[in-house]
Amino acid sequence: MKKLSFHPCGNYRENYAQELSIFETWFGRVSLGVFLLILFGVAPFFLSPYLLYILNTIGILAIAAIGLNILVGYTGQISLGHGAFFGVGAYAAAILATRLDVPFYLSIPAAGFITALVGMIFGIPSGRLKGLYLTIATLAGQFIIEYVLIQWESLTKGTMGITLPGPSILGWTIAGDKAFFFLIFICLVLMTWFAVNIMRSKYGRAFIAIRDNDRAAEGMGIPIFKYKLLSFAISSFYAGFAGALWAYYMVSITTEPFNLGLSVEFIAMVIIGGMGNIPGAIFGATFITILNEILRYTTGVLMNVSVITSMGLNMAPLREFVFGLAIVLFILLEPKGLAELWRILRSNFRLWPFSY
């Protein structure tokens, strides 16, 4: 198929192959390649360990956020249990690695599949419930999973937490931020590629049909329950996969981080990034992670300013406040998220100086 050199100024697609193409021009394809080259060839060797740590966190969270975007942005099912699924993945990987000595390249996907199963169980209510009710059902799922993780001590060691062995392949142990960078970002690229292609398939179109009108979708012959469950499964697979990566990266895990706050952060990533947009999830994960780091740094600095400490003010809650504010402002001002801003920015460059 012929690739265009320039963006067409309208929709001139003539066949399905064109409709489904990811890159409209060769320029888009090349610039992605250049970006990946820089990411893998330059970033890990020149960035400080702290910046690499942030990048790695972004990579892991982005995988989970892509999964949530498939569920929320494409299938229209709101889930408040994504943080718990992330935790299920982390624990599944940890238990597989410590009890059964499964190597990491098997335990991470296995954790994904286990989480997908759990996700499907909590997706069952979606067969009967819509909108608000489903949201609340997933909220219940969040609390139940948290409880199980803490209370099932024979398996999860409860609040003690689990320490994982370092992942190794062919006698070479992956350790340190740089090595993990490659592991995480190769996974991210693969998972993104997979997600983009699911959305171009029959399954993706069925998801979108369900989001737009599930009754009409049913009328068109789409078995909606099956597809909703599938969407839950795929989304939890991503969460579990990311959680497993996280467990290996963090070395030791406890149940604490996998609370409702994390679920809310994931949804915030999807909304701030842009719903129904795969790169948007990556933008969202980047934004939230950087915002968290900046806020942590600022509150740290503010705590040491003598005027404030002498007034007895604790600045730590500022983080929570700004986080909430960011969500609210994005929803009010740019509900389509960063992906839309990115699109506007690009088209401004492209069309400059005649932007009409």
- Classified as helix, coil or strand, 252 is strand
What is the distance between the alpha carbons of residues 246 and 269, in angstroms, rounded to a whole number? Answer: 17
| Structure tokens that stand for 246 in this block | 């996280």
Determine phi and psi for 304, rounding to 5 degrees: -90, -5
Binding flag, residue 84, other proteins (CB under 8 A): no
Nearer to other proteins by Cβ, of 143 and 194: the residue is: 143
What is the distance between the alpha carbons of residues 265 and 58, in angstroms, rounded to a whole number? Answer: 13
Could you say which of 42, 320, 347, 348 contacts other proteins (CB under 8 A)? Answer: 320
Nearer to other proteins by Cβ, of 294 and 316: the residue is: 316
What is the distance between the alpha carbons of residues 266 and 269, in angstroms, rounded to a whole number? Answer: 5
Interacting stretch for other proteins, rule CB under 8 A, among 89-97, 194-202, 313-321, 343-351? 313-321
- Within residues 282-311, the interface with other proteins by CB under 8 A covers none
Nearer to other proteins by Cβ, of 55 and 134: the residue is: 134
- Classified as helix, coil or strand, 336 is coil
What is the distance between the alpha carbons of residues 337 and 244, in angstroms, rounded to a whole number? Answer: 28
Torsion, CA 71, CA 144, CA 245, CA 266, rounded to 10: 40
Report in angstroms how near the CB of residue 75 gets to other proteins at its nearest: 12
What is each CA distance from 152 to 71, 101, 144, 248, in whole angstroms? 28, 20, 12, 21
Buried b (16+ CB within 10 A) or exposed e, 205-232: ebbbbbbeebeebeeeebebbebbbbbb
Binding flag, residue 201, other proteins (CB under 8 A): no
Could you say which of 62, 63, 65, 78 contacts other proteins (CB under 8 A)? Answer: 78
- Within residues 210-239, the interface with other proteins by CB under 8 A covers 215
Contact track, other proteins, 137-176, x by CB under 8 A: x-xxx-xx--x---x-------------------------
Could you say which of 38, 106, 335, 345 contacts other proteins (CB under 8 A)? Answer: 335
Report in angstroms how near the CB of residue 30 gets to other proteins at its nearest: 35
**Binding residues vs other proteins (CB under 8 A):** 72, 78, 124-125, 128-129, 131-133, 135-137, 139-141, 143-144, 147, 151, 215, 260, 264, 267-268, 271, 275, 313-328, 331-332, 335
